[in-house]
């Protein structure tokens, strides 16, 4: 017998976007149910507590100007921890290229450096970020959707060639462990310009008022501070504690283990059907799922036009994170930085510092993107860990026998995520970015991919708030009808 839950609004997905929508709806007096396919909240924010300590996967860093995230932590009594003392260590990273380690100090004059002046001092992992910051036509991040910016909705490769850069520079300046797409041909330059404009706006917003008055010269700094002096935060007991606290604040507990299979809207009510036969019937629904997951849900009436195209085709970034314990301070033996940015399947091999002493390395993680992530995902966890260890040992012998694999999080292989974050291929922003989050009858959509001003966790919070405000406005309009 079908179990039916009735409410005024049902939220599908208990990540940051869905939970923020639910919190705002409850604040407006709406009776809400949240359904979640997994047995936890947080979506692509996950604190890997089972591995010891707070090893973060997915959303890891709360910017000093992430107003919605910081406000949620304050409202729900989640203590934030200033990570400023440890940020200087993030710059302690050397380059592993073609089987050899190149120290940052060696790179500007190194024969393997193909970058033209004035970019020779840039490391490969900062090249595209600095390029899109310096050559950015967007005055504000939200301008990325303006029609006149469509000229930049071209392959990143084409945009970089337009600046006079050759293929070798593009390959090294964008092609190593790429965060968006498979390579420079697979990502819209406009999205990367949006990312750079967002980062710039965040930096300016996080500066103290006195510093902001200094003006343009200050904006070129690589780091800024908030009015509290902090440049960013993590959360006590892990960033996942924020969505957990948001869920705990709701009047009704999250319905776990409810994988949604169909969404039907008859014009008067939305019926959400789950794989276990449970149904939720409500006046409104909020769908807070990545499009890669949404493709597996049947809509009646079906999605149409550019929204249907977006759901069917918007890609999501493959990303796999592997975690390691260490048996010695091997980096002191070879006098190479603890962290390495590599051209191998290891991707970025980063020292973790999540203890009380920011100078203490508590472990290591490999952040692997794109095709390399897919290759590692094809291996069992232990085999993937062994491959990363072998690649590190090959390039730095001091690490031999000193690393132990302890766990993996693959966002591309996760059936409830199917990727770490959305990205736009060339031309997709122009075709459907502005319309892909439009209401579908009584169904609203949210998620980081639908944010129009912010990115990452703050973008997820923005989109959840926007979806809730749309329902609240519709509800008020209906109540005002004679």
Options 3.60.21.10, 1.10.3720.10, 3.90.660.10, 3.30.110.40; CATH for 84-113+318-410 is 3.90.660.10
3-class secondary-structure state, position 48 = strand
How many C-beta neighbours within 10 Å does residue 136 have? 18
Report whether pLDDT(207) > 60: no
Query: Nearest Cα to 139, choosing from 204, 224, 218?
Result: 204
State the pLDDT at residue 12: 98
Contact 164, 132 (CB under 8 A): no
Q: What is the mean pLDDT of residues 345-370?
A: 92
pLDDT band at residue 208 under the 50/70/90 scheme? low
State the pLDDT at residue 206: 62
Q: What is the mean pLDDT of residues 58-70?
A: 93
pLDDT in tens, 382-431: 999 999 999 999 999 999 999 999 999 999 999 999 999 999 999 999 99
Average pLDDT, the chain: 93
Contact 423, 181 (CB under 8 A): yes
User: Where are the domains positioned within the chain?
Assistant: 4-46+238-315+424-480, 84-113+318-410, 115-229
pLDDT band at residue 53 under the 50/70/90 scheme? confident
Q: What is the CA radius of gyration of the chain?
A: 23
Contact 306, 431 (CB under 8 A): yes
Q: What is the dihedral of CA 339, 342, 344, 350, to 10 degrees?
A: 20
Residue 192 host element (H or E) = helix 189-205
Residue 372 tokens, joined? 């390399």
pLDDT in tens, 253-310: 999 999 999 999 999 999 999 999 999 999 999 999 999 999 999 999 999 999 999 9
Strand order in the sheet with 62-63: 62-63, 232-235, 80-82
Report whether pLDDT(210) > 60: no
Tell me the DSSP string of 372-392.
Answer: HHHHHHTS-HHHHHHHHHHHH
pLDDT in tens, 463-479: 999 999 999 999 988 77
Query: Nearest Cα to 184, choosing from 201, 202, 203, 163?
Result: 163
pTM of the prediction? 0.94
Percent of the residues in the chain that have a pLDDT greater than 90, as a whole number: 85
Tell me how far apart the alpha carbons of residues 251 and 410 are, in angstroms, rounded to a whole number.
33
pLDDT in tens, 141-195: 999 999 999 999 999 999 999 999 999 999 999 999 999 999 999 999 999 999 9
Report whether pLDDT(99) > 70: yes
Q: What is the dihedral of CA 294, 299, 301, 306, to 10 degrees?
A: 20
Listed range (61-70, 199-208, 296-305, 432-441) with the worst mean pLDDT: 199-208
Give the sign of the dihedral formed by CA 421, CA 442, CA 32, CA 282. negative
Angle CA 345–349–351, to nearest 5: 165
Tell me how far apart the alpha carbons of residues 61 and 63 are, in angstroms, rounded to a whole number.
6
Q: What is the mean pLDDT of residues 132-144?
A: 97
Residue 349 tokens, joined? 């091999």
Q: What is the dihedral of CA 213, 215, 218, 223, to 10 degrees?
A: 70
pLDDT in tens, 216-239: 332 332 333 344 578 899 999 999
Residue 407 tokens, joined? 């766990």
Instruction: Please determine whether the domains at 4-46+238-315+424-480 and 84-113+318-410 fall in the same fold group of CATH.
Output: no
At the topology level of CATH, where does 4-46+238-315+424-480 sit? FAD/NAD(P)-binding domain (3.50.50)
Contact 399, 406 (CB under 8 A): no
Report whether pLDDT(214) > 50: no
Residue 105 tokens, joined? 């100090």
């Amino acid at each position: 017998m079908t179990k039916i839950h009735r409410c005024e609004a049902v939220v599908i997905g208990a990540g940051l976007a869905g939970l923020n929508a639910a919190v705002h709806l409850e604040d407006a007096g709406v009776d809400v149910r949240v359904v979640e396919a997994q047995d936890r909240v947080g979506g692509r924010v996950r604190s890997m507590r089972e591995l010891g300590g707070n090893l973060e996967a997915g959303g890891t860093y709360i910017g000093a100007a992430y107003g919605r995230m910081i406000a949620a932590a304050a409202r729900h009594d989640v203590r934030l921890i200033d990570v400023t003392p440890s940020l200087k260590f993030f710059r302690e990273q050397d380059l592993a290229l073609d089987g050899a380690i190149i120290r940052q100090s060696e790179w500007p004059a190194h024969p393997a450096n193909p970058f033209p002046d004035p970019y020779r001092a840039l490391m490969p992992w900062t090249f595209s970020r600095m390029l899109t910051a310096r050559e950015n036509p967007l005055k504000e991040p939200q301008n990325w959707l303006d029609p006149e910016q469509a000229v930049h909705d071209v392959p990143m490769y084409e945009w970089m060639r337009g600046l006079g850069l050759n293929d070798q520079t593009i390959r090294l300046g964008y092609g190593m462990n790429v965060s968006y797409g498979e390579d420079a041909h697979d990502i819209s330059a406009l999205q990367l310009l949006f990312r750079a404009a967002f980062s710039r706006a965040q930096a300016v917003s996080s500066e103290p008022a006195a510093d902001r008055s200094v003006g343009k010269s200050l904006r070129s700094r690589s780091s800024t501070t908030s009015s509290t002096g902090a440049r960013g935060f993590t959360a006590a007991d892990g960033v996942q504690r924020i969505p957990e606290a948001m869920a705990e604040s709701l009047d009704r507990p999250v319905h776990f283990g409810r994988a949604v299979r169909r969404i039907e809207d008859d014009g008067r009510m939305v019926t959400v059907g789950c794989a276990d036969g449970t149904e939720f019937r409500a006046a409104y629904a909020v769908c807070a799922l990545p499009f890669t997951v949404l493709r597996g849900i049947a809509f009646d009436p079906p999605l149409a036009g550019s929204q249907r195209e977006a759901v069917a085709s918007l890609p999501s970034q493959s990303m796999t994170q592997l975690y390691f314990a260490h048996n010695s301070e091997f980096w002191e033996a070879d006098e190479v930085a603890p962290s390495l940015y590599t051209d191998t399947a290891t991707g970025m091999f980063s020292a973790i510092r999540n203890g009380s002493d920011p100078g203490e390395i508590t472990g290591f993680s490999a952040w692997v993107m794109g095709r390399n992530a897919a290759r590692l995902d094809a291996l069992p966890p232990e085999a993937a860990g062994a491959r990363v260890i072998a690649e590190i040992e090959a390039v730095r012998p001091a690490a031999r026998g000193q690393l132990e694999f302890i766990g993996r999080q693959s966002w591309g292989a996760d059936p409830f995520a199917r990727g770490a974050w959305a990205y736009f291929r060339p031309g997709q922003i122009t075709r459907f970015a502005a319309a892909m989050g439009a209401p579908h009858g009584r169904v609203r959509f949210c998620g980081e991919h639908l944010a129009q001003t912010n990115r990452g966790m703050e973008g997820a919070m923005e989109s959840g708030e926007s979806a809730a405000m749309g329902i609240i406005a519709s509800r008020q309009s209906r109540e005002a009808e004679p």
